[in-house]
Amino acid sequence: MLGPVILAASRSDRMRRLISAAPVTKQVVDRFIPGESVDDIVPIIEQLTDRGLELTMDVVGEDITTPEQATAARDAYLALIDRLRELGLGERVEMSVKLSMFGQALDGGHELALANVRPVVEAAAAIGTTVTLDAEDHTTLDSMFAIHEELRKDFPQTGCVIQAYLFRTEADARRLAAAGSRVRLVKGAYKEPAEVAYQQKHEIDKAYVRILGTLMEGEGYPMVGSHDPRLISIAQELARRAGRKPDEYEFQMLYGIRGDEHLRLAAEGHRMRVYTAYGTDWYGYFMRRLAEKPANLRFFLRSMLSK
């Protein structure tokens, strides 16, 4: 019950101001967003890669309101990629981007987002890595898939995310499960209406398994984005049945969630990629993490009350 309320609050400017200014928030936020700058995040990247993990980096921010902010988002990714080049970590660390942060919702936003994301994809390719386009709310997805298709003409390794809770996703998965494609499957983290998305956990989980089956049986590279232990063992079984070797798919989890499981899967010989977010505009990302697990909200509120 709490999840949808928190997701509604994630779109409220008033709540954003209140929560961002709360005295203890930062310390709670750090669990999921362990840094604000490239300098903060480099030691985390080094620590995780030293442990045999790979990463996908998210410079947090979304729903920007000016083209200048979109340019700043592009530049933030370019600065990170430049640092990864200096560190020689290009091949272990890819980028995840939200097109709303690149201007997708502004006037002429589709073209603007494409123009801003292209240099990031080019810079990533130049250091031997790639970019995955995150999936945001359902109204943005036709534009995201069109940008994905456009980028793939020059950079076929560009990935995208699909969300099991949406009715459309089974058809998207069939279209995307083709040779050379890289597709991350997640359950879905936004508040979506019943006209477009399953609302019940068991329906979402069943859809996840069906869609994962399509990806595993297809010719692309599936990226299993989930912390759900049941889905992780089903993924292993589907990969085995499809005759996939461990380097023909990967697991992905979020920084700060089930860290022991990241290490366990990597130790078993799986490719394990940790989605690591950093930056100052953390509100939307943080609120989605609270909505996924109400216990996080209770911890957050307790830490505020104990001050």
Query: Does residue 252 interact with ligand FDA by CB under 6 A?
Result: yes
Cα–Cα distances (Å) from 34 to 39, 105, 125, 279, 280, in that order, read 11, 28, 26, 9, 10
Stretch of 103-111, 118-126, 192-200, 253-261 contacting ligand FDA, by CB under 6 A: 253-261
Which residues in the 256-295 window bind ligand FDA by CB under 6 A? 257-258, 275, 289, 292-293
Catalytic, 134? Answer yes
- Residue 6 backbone phi and psi in degrees, to 5: -65, -40
Q: Which is nearer to ligand FDA, 107 or 260 (CB)?
A: 260
Contact 55, 48 (CB under 8 A): yes
List strand residue ranges (DSSP E) for the chain, in order.
54-59, 93-97, 131-133, 159-163, 182-186, 221-225, 250-254, 272-278
DSSP letter at 273 equals: E
Catalytic, 184? Answer yes
Stretch of 77-85, 100-108, 112-120, 250-258 contacting ligand FDA, by CB under 6 A: 250-258
Binding track, positions 91-130, relative to ligand FDA; x by CB under 6 A: ----------------------------------------
Tokens 């879905």 belong to 188
Measured between alpha carbons, how far is 12 from 53 in angstroms, rounded to an integer?
Answer: 35
Which residue among 74, 92, 118, 134 is the active-site one?
Answer: 134
Query: Does residue 228 interact with ligand FDA by CB under 6 A?
Result: yes
Which residues in the 179-198 window bind ligand FDA by CB under 6 A? 186-190
Of 247, 253, 241, 232, the residue nearest 214 (C-alpha):
241
Query: Does residue 226 interact with ligand FDA by CB under 6 A?
Result: yes
Q: Which residues have a catalytic role annotated?
A: 134, 184
Where does this chain bind ligand FDA (CB under 6 A)? 134-135, 161, 163, 186-190, 225-228, 252-254, 257-258, 275, 289, 292-293, 296
